[in-house]
Amino acid sequence: MSITHIPGFPRIGKQRELKKAVEAYWNGDLAESELKEIGKILRARHWQQQADAGLDFVTVGDFSWYDQVLDMSATLGVVPPRFAWPGKSPTEAEPQVDLNTYFRMARGRAPEGKPAHACEMTKWFDTNYHYIVPEFYPEQAFSLCSTKLFDEIAEAQQLGYTVKPVILGPLSYLWLGKVKEGDFDKLNLLDKLLPCYQQILAKLHQQGIEWLQIDEPILVLDLPAAWQAAFQRAYATLQDSTLPNTLLTTYFDDLGNNLSLACQLPVSGLHIDTTRGYTNIATLIEILPGEKILSLGLIDGRNIWKTDLNALIEFLTPIKEKLHDRLWLSTSCSLLHVPVDLEQENKLDPEIKSWLAFATQKLAEIQLLNSALNKGTKKEEKSLQLINDAIESRKNSQRTYSNYVRERVAGINESFVARKLPFPERIRLQHQQVELPLFPTTTIGSFPQTSKVRHIRQEYKQGIISEEVYRQKLKQEIAFAMQKQEALGLDVLVHGEAERNDMVEYFGEQLSGFAFTEHGWVQSYGSRCVKPPIIYGDVARQKPMTLDWISYAQSLTDKPVKGMLTGPVTILNWSFVRNDLPLENICLQIALALRDEVIDLETAGTKIIQIDEAALREGLPLKKQQWAHYLKWAVKSFKVAASGVKDSTQIHTHMCYSEFNDIIQAVAAMDADVITIETSRSDMKLLDAFKDFSYPNDIGPGVYDIHSPNVPTVDEIVNLMHHAKERIPLERLWINPDCGLKTRGWEEVEAALKNMVKAAKLLREQV
């Protein structure tokens, strides 16, 4: 049999136990010891699952209270000075980053300790997972400041498991961090960092660890020469025969230019993601030195389709003959990015369910793959036949195909992808239609999803209240949000999205070609999870999706109400997508459905319509070479959705965490009249993108960090806007939070928006 393992398992729990526990702890409803106990139960459960599935190792170090990169920062003592933990400094012997310091770094506050500006958060490669960005300062030191990893290893060993710990490697750790003060090359920190890694390795050795998974996902990026050279240096330093074997682990793409580098590094094994990019694995096998292990990530850790194991066995048989025991079998990446267990989905259409595999099922797929490849008895044959049936049923299903949709996409021409007039003329018409002050204030769309709103939805889903009552109650929530906004004096109002559980799910539920799970949660950041819909077939709109709500909200006020839609690229990027059609084709299908909605909204009198493209950036391929192609179809899809309206109708878009520098041209090419973006956590530094490229349309740089419970002061907001004014002419500036407010409470939201409106008034007076 081959050695089997996984790069990581979801930590959130199949009932989102971790989310609930962590939030209860933050609210003071759970003691630290109780929280820790729940973590322990979850870890034990997930290890048991891996052992039950016959994996040779259980993976330890994938559990986290918030984020695995933040865990690494804690381990390495990388705590920004503003969080200085009480009475201890990193130079003292054996200081520990306690849980409260940890949570303050993650979210600005914790049950104990002073609130402080939370660390920046950004997307983990091209996924919808967000990590906490390590911050580096001029005098940056590194020292082991957390025993979490070692404690968890001991915990797993006590339960009798063979442990393969996972840590983020030194180069990827540095790459993902940011220099916060001073002007130095973060790569220069490597020499100070490596002794810490040596200490970690030595400790693992003491704990009897034979194999360490060391993640270096940046090896799939286009790396500068200095970083490539640093890999050589770092791994030569870490190499020591008395330490654990290291499995250098890469995922999310092929190794590209770094292929020979990765093969030659002095490590004991290499893990690659064969689900992306690898067209010629033979080359890799040829150049991989003969003593090294090759761990193949064959089962897709980013998608939920059953694996065609029969095809894999065909693919693997010659490889196995070459590599024998040097071949390990695995999933492509950590299963963090897929839901935990398909078995709990009782409402899912049985046919569609038969096409799927979640994390738990993927463990079984590895096991079956292993035994079929190495034993191939009758028993395996039978199981493989079942898989084959599922794969065939999906291939041949009528439910995945619509002639009408295919023809419509084929009919998209130039007239679908452009507004009639250029922006300067459009904006004049728009100002005639809707009169707004300088620095218009608005929000990004959602208002707090209170427990009351969630309760209403629960009651409806459980059949306790009728659809009519449900809608009535939601209207009351909308009316409440409208009243609040009027009282606050905001200029462009929103209905608040009370009817939406999630900005993608809401649309998916109304479009054909989508399927939904009940428990298919995937961690997005910290305690926050999303439940991505599954696009299994051609996408079409059945009927208007948002019209009633927006019209109702507009009927309550004389101020303009923004229509609110999720854009095609975001719907695509935040769904599990069928793998039998090119992405761009699926995206255009969605764009056409949204285009119909946009036109319906305009016809009903909506003068401002926002099409969120929160996830545009994260869909960027990891290799620059492929960017142009992606951006071309992404921009085109947005324009197909947005361009069906009159020039006097104002199109807004919103993007989260958009680091624009490298895609600013594409963002401008989308030609939205107004764009709102994330900038507050980075102190408007993201606006540096506008130094060399003057963004032509209106822009609202976020001034209120909605990912933190802290309320920004009037001064802070005014200051941020002063920075913004240095880059963007003030006639084109809007004032808004940096994302939707659904995760916040009303009290903080009201206080923050009040300050925002006050700041706008002050700024207007200063003009």
Q: Could you tell me the smallest distance in angstroms from the CB atom of residue 102 to ligand GLN?
A: 25
Q: Whose Cβ is closer to ligand GLN: residue 220's or residue 482's? A: 482
CA angle 549, 555, 557 (to 5 degrees): 115
Considering only residues 297, 445, 563, 644, which one is a binding residue for ligand GLN as defined by CB under 6 A?
A: 445
What is the full DSSP assignment across 584-611? HHHHHHHHHHHHHHHHHHHHTT--EEEE
Interaction of residue 656 with ligand GLN, rule CB under 6 A: yes
Closer residue to ligand GLN in complex, CB, 35/503: 503
Contacts with ligand GLN in 600-639 (CB under 6 A)? Answer: 612, 614
Question: CA distances (Å), 67 to each of 34, 330, 425, 659, in order?
Answer: 20, 23, 46, 21
Is residue 503 involved in binding Zn ion (CB under 5 A)? no
Binding of ligand GLN by 98 (CB under 6 A): no
| CB contact at 8 A, 110 and 117 | no
Q: C-alpha angle 678/680/682, rounded to 5°?
A: 95
Rounded to a whole number of angstroms, the CA Rg of the chain reads: 26
Which position among 431, 652, 707, 723 bears the catalytic label?
A: 707
502 binds ligand GLN (CB under 6 A): no
Is residue 684 within the footprint of Zn ion (CB under 5 A)?
Answer: no
564 interface partner picked from Zn ion, ligand GLN, none, CB below 5 to 8 A per type: ligand GLN
Query: What sign results for the dihedral spanned by CA atoms 723, 724, 727, 728?
Result: negative
Within 10 angstroms of residue 506's Cβ, the number of other Cβ atoms is 18
Provide, rounded to whole angstroms, the least separation between the CB of residue 221 and ligand GLN.
25
| The token pair that represents 413 in the structure block | 């021409």
562 is an interface residue for ligand GLN by CB under 6 A:
no
Choice between 301 and 445, CB closer to Zn ion: 445
User: Taking CB under 6 A as the rule, does residue 598 contact ligand GLN?
Assistant: no
**Shortest gap between Cβ of 702 and Zn ion (angstroms)?**
8
Phi-psi category of residue 557: left, alpha or beta, with phi > 0 → left and psi -120 to 50 → alpha: beta
What Cα–Cα distance (Å) separates residue 627 from each residue in 441, 466, 633, 641?
34, 47, 10, 21
Smaller CB separation from ligand GLN, 136 or 660 = 660
95 binds, among Zn ion, ligand GLN, none (CB under 5 to 8 A by kind): none
State yes or no: residue 656 binds Zn ion (CB under 5 A).
yes
* Residue 315 per-residue DSSP state: H
Interface with Zn ion in residues 546-605 (CB under 5 A):
none
Choose which of 116, 327, 336, 444 interacts with ligand GLN (CB under 6 A): 444
Write phi, then psi, for 177 (nearest 5 degrees). -85, 180
Given Zn ion, ligand GLN, none, residue 445, with its beta carbon under 5 to 8 Å by kind, binds ligand GLN
273 residue type, one letter? D
> Is 652 known to be catalytic?
no
For residue 720, state whether it binds ligand GLN (rule: CB under 6 A): no
Stretch that binds ligand GLN, among 101-109, 214-222, 284-292, 440-448 (CB under 6 A): 440-448
Q: Which of 22, 327, 614, 717 binds Zn ion (CB under 5 A)?
A: 614
Query: Which residue is at the shortest CB distance from ligand GLN?
Result: 740
CA distance 48 to 591: 44
Partner whose footprint covers residue 562, from ligand GLN, Zn ion, none (CB < 5 to 8 Å by kind): none
The residues facing 651 across adjacent strands are 609
Q: Give the residue among 677, 680, 682, 719 at the shortest CA–CA distance from 695.
A: 677
CB–CB of 448/749 below 8 Å? yes
Provide the sign of the torsion angle of the four alpha carbons 525, 6, 265, 200, taken in this order.
Answer: positive
First to last CA, the chain: 74
At its nearest, how many Å lie between Zn ion and the CB of residue 740? 6
How do strand 327-331 and strand 293-299 relate by DSSP bridges? parallel
Q: Are 121 and 657 in contact (CB under 8 A)?
A: yes
Residue 721 binds ligand GLN (CB under 6 A): no
Report the partner that residue 563 touches, choosing among Zn ion, ligand GLN, none (CB closer than 5 to 8 A by kind). Answer: none
Q: Tokens 């009201």 identify what position?
A: 750
Q: Is 269 in the site for ligand GLN (CB under 6 A)?
A: no
Calculated CA dihedral for residues 686, 687, 688, 694, nearest 10 degrees = 140
Q: Considering the rule CB under 6 A, would residue 564 count as an interface residue with ligand GLN?
A: yes
| 753 forms part of the interface with ligand GLN (CB under 6 A) | no
Least separation, in Å, of the C-beta of 489 and Zn ion? 23
Among 4, 330, 446, 606, binds ligand GLN (CB under 6 A): 446
- Contacts of ligand GLN in 317-346 (CB under 6 A): none
Binding site for Zn ion (CB under 5 A): 614, 656, 739
Binding site for ligand GLN (CB under 6 A): 444-446, 497, 503, 564, 612, 614, 654, 656, 739-740, 742
Catalytic residue set: 707
